[in-house]
Amino acid sequence: MKIKKIYFMFLMLLLLGQTAYAHRPVIVKNNSSKQNPVLVERPEISWAYYGELDDKSHYYRIVSEVPFNLYVNILVPDTDPEGRLIETHDMSFQIFKNDTMIYTAEGKRSQWKRFYEEYGKDHYYMGAEYDQNAEAGEYIVRVYNSANRGKYSLAIGKIEKFTLVSLIDAIAKAQSLDEWFFK
């Protein structure tokens, strides 16, 4: 019994060491709308929202009572990482503060690069990034493209911080992402 506990603790430490530098995954799929945006809690924490546009834009609502660093980045899955580089993708985002647009990242005008996330062992194309100090207030991030179709990952926040519960949750979601997002 004691050997099993030691093995379990060793395994958890190993997993902590490998996952601690990743975003916390949140699977949205198509459960986001203008009327019911995804609430981003603690926007300074590093989150990765995985969604799929299905004829409508997706929306994320950030509310902060204190100034914070607002980081937003858009990625799309690279389903053929050994294939030809695709330099243009049609996945975009806009950031609004109090109904005023403060930033637009047009996917077709952005420079996309391949990105390998070593901890999840996943391949992406990384698009535009927004990284600015933000005032307290409400922000809305809209994810869209010309057809409002396709899979994306929206990264919000930069501080990589995990609790044991969030780490276990991240590991469980990684399996689901491999079965859905990267297919």
Distance (Å, rounded) from C-alpha 123 to C-alpha 128?
16
The model's confidence at residue 17, banded by pLDDT at 50, 70 and 90, is very low
Distance (Å, rounded) from C-alpha 55 to C-alpha 144?
9
The token duo for 29 is 């799929």
pLDDT of 36 strictly over 90 = yes
pLDDT attached to residue 173: 58
pLDDT of 164 strictly over 70 = no
Task: Give the CATH number of domain 2-180.
Answer: 2.60.120.380
The model's confidence at residue 64, banded by pLDDT at 50, 70 and 90, is very high
User: What contacts 66, CB < 8 A, 6 or more positions away?
Assistant: 136
Distance from CA of residue 27 to its chain's centroid?
A: 9
Sorted by where each begins, the domain ranges of the chain are 2-180
SS3 (DSSP) at 163: coil
pLDDT attached to residue 31: 87
Angle at the Cα of 107 (from 101 to 112), degrees rounded to 5?
130
